[in-house]
Amino acid sequence: MKYAISLLGMLLLVICGTLFIQYQVFSDKLEVGEGKFTYTQEIEITYRSGGLDIRQHFHNLPNQSIKITWPNLAVNTDCFLESETSCERLSEEKTEFIPAENRNASLSYMIPLDGGLKSNQLLKDIFVTLKNGQVSYSTVHISTDSEVQGQWVTGLPLIGNQSLSLVNYSMFEGTGGISEIYWQKDVMNLQATTDALSIFSNTPISRELSEYLKNLKLLNEDPIIIIQGKNNSSEQGKRILFLDDLSITSLNEKVILSQIHLQYDFGESPQWMSEVMASFLTNSTLGSYKSSEIVKTLKNKMSEAQMASWIEKLDDLKGKKISAKQLDDLLSQVLGNDTEYFTMNAQTEQVFPFLFNDKRKVFVQDEFREDVKVVLKDGDVLYSLDPILRHLGYQTSIGENGYYVQSETQKFRFPQGYGFYVYNNQRYNTVSEPLTVIADSFYIEETWLQRLFNLDIEKSEDTITIK
């Protein structure tokens, strides 16, 4: 009994210590503004003097430091004295909300519009955002002079319009944030609306599309606005999308890709990367030829269990920044072997073939050579030829009649696809091609490398040595 009580006491001490450490880490994160949080906002927009006068009110803020990101175009940035306490959290540098018990704050700023408000104008990234904060609900009020006649779209459901003697007023509200607004002189009719999306068009939609919309489910709760036609910049918004063709195929692809970009941060990654992820997460094939080829290749490489694991790992990335290396790391875990498939495809316009990598360090003449790559393709072990030969003292070039290699005593020419090579001006027929071209780089099969250049290759668990 004594031992049991002592053991129980020790366990309680360990648990309490662990909880204290976790609390300290959590508190430290709050102090430096690293804690994630949700908040609601109300935005008042008034168009006057060729620009947007914006007042943005934040509610339910946590008691922690919160970094403020102002729009790039914002001028006259300041707090807005909506109440006696609405300015007390803004720092002197206007770069953050300082920790305080007050859960509300208000900011004001101007967004100048070059040439004033123009029809079919999509205005993007014009609102303040808070680091680590996610907007759960937004309310937006837009006012213009009475002579400014037109239609506003915000990506949020329209609650109502009102035309008064001096101003025109529109109100929107709904779940999620807002990053863009759209204005056009002509008023389009709302042809369809569901919890998932709304469609504005000058012509009625087909019965088939109407039935499709009833069963459409989005990847998150934020609804999408579809406008038939183009805007001035031909850009797409996050929640406001433009489509010439209101077919089920085009609408489905555009909506899914928009939802993916709302859930993941692709930064400067190429467009095909989001198309690939969307295809796997929705069990479809979307986007360009390159993305469809990558999806097809990976599906052929995976078992059902591996596919389920891959999709689960992609789903776990929600809210994170996506990179080619990150996807390669996950894919390598799923397949149980190392690959740089996404990284290599991000470096070329072509479709780079799927390869496994040998991650052992390569030494040429006892010196580590980071530029030498060893890959596995269709059961063959291939070496990147140019760097190996250069380290061995050979000169290489590409000419009209093939790939040339020479040293003081040896000369090679490798024509592609002819079943022979030339060594010191003598032709030698081959059953297989010694060289393989992968994304404009020459690779050589392992036995051909040893035979043609009289090399010895030694392998250990961690290294490959070429002599």
Calculate mean pLDDT across residues 106-119. 94
- pLDDT at residue 96 greater than cutoff 50: yes
Calculate mean pLDDT across residues 312-340. 94
Question: What is the widest separation between alpha-carbon atoms in the chain?
Answer: 94
- Find, among 437, 441, 412, the residue nearest to 425 by Cα: 412
pLDDT band with cut points at 50, 70 and 90 for residue 283: confident
Contact 144, 90 (CB under 8 A): no
In this prediction, residue 254 carries a pLDDT of: 85
Contact 139, 172 (CB under 8 A): yes
CA distances from 27 to 64, 68, 96, 116, 436 (A): 9, 20, 18, 47, 57
Query: How is domain 358-466 classified at the architecture level of CATH?
Result: 2-Layer Sandwich (3.30)
In this prediction, residue 37 carries a pLDDT of: 96
Contact 310, 331 (CB under 8 A): yes
Calculate mean pLDDT across residues 231-243. 88
Is the pTM higher than 0.75? The answer reads no
pLDDT band with cut points at 50, 70 and 90 for residue 17: low
- Residue 236 φ/ψ, nearest 5 degrees: -105, 145
Q: How many CB atoms lie within 10 A of CB 209?
A: 17
Locus of tokens 């998932």? 196
In this prediction, residue 210 carries a pLDDT of: 87
Strand residues in 166-251 grouped as ranges (E)? 167-175, 180-184, 189-193, 197-201, 224-228, 240-243
Q: How far apart are the C-alpha atoms of 224 and 416, rounded to whole Å? A: 52
Q: How many CB atoms lie within 10 A of CB 217?
A: 7
- pLDDT at residue 20 greater than cutoff 60: no
- pLDDT 10s digits, 143-154: 999 888 899 999
In this prediction, residue 4 carries a pLDDT of: 47
Q: How far apart are the C-alpha atoms of 333 and 359, rounded to whole Å? A: 14
Locus of tokens 């990335």? 317
- pLDDT 10s digits, 400-441: 889 999 999 999 999 988 889 999 999 999 988 899 998 888
In this prediction, residue 13 carries a pLDDT of: 59
pLDDT band with cut points at 50, 70 and 90 for residue 30: very low
User: Coil, strand or helix: which one is 26?
Assistant: helix
**What H or E segment, with its residue span, contains residue 405?**
strand 402-406
In this prediction, residue 26 carries a pLDDT of: 44
In this prediction, residue 19 carries a pLDDT of: 47
Question: What DSSP string runs through 54-108?
Answer: EEEEEES--SS-EEEE--TT-EEEEE--SSTTTTTTB-TTSSEEPP-S---EEEE
In this prediction, residue 5 carries a pLDDT of: 52
- pLDDT at residue 269 greater than cutoff 80: yes
Contact 262, 222 (CB under 8 A): yes
- What totals of helices (H) and strands (E) does the chain contain, helices first? 10, 31
In this prediction, residue 460 carries a pLDDT of: 93
Please enumerate, as own/partner, the contacts of 240-244 that have beta carbons within 8 Å and a separation of 24 or more: 240/122, 240/153, 240/154, 240/155, 240/180, 240/182
- pLDDT 10s digits, 144-199: 998 888 999 998 989 999 888 889 999 999 988 998 999 999 889 999 888 778 89
Higher pLDDT, 344 or 255: 344
Q: How far apart are the C-alpha atoms of 339 and 273, rounded to whole Å? A: 16
Average pLDDT of the chain is: 89
Q: Return the CATH fold of 37-187.
A: Immunoglobulin-like (2.60.40)
- pLDDT at residue 97 greater than cutoff 90: yes
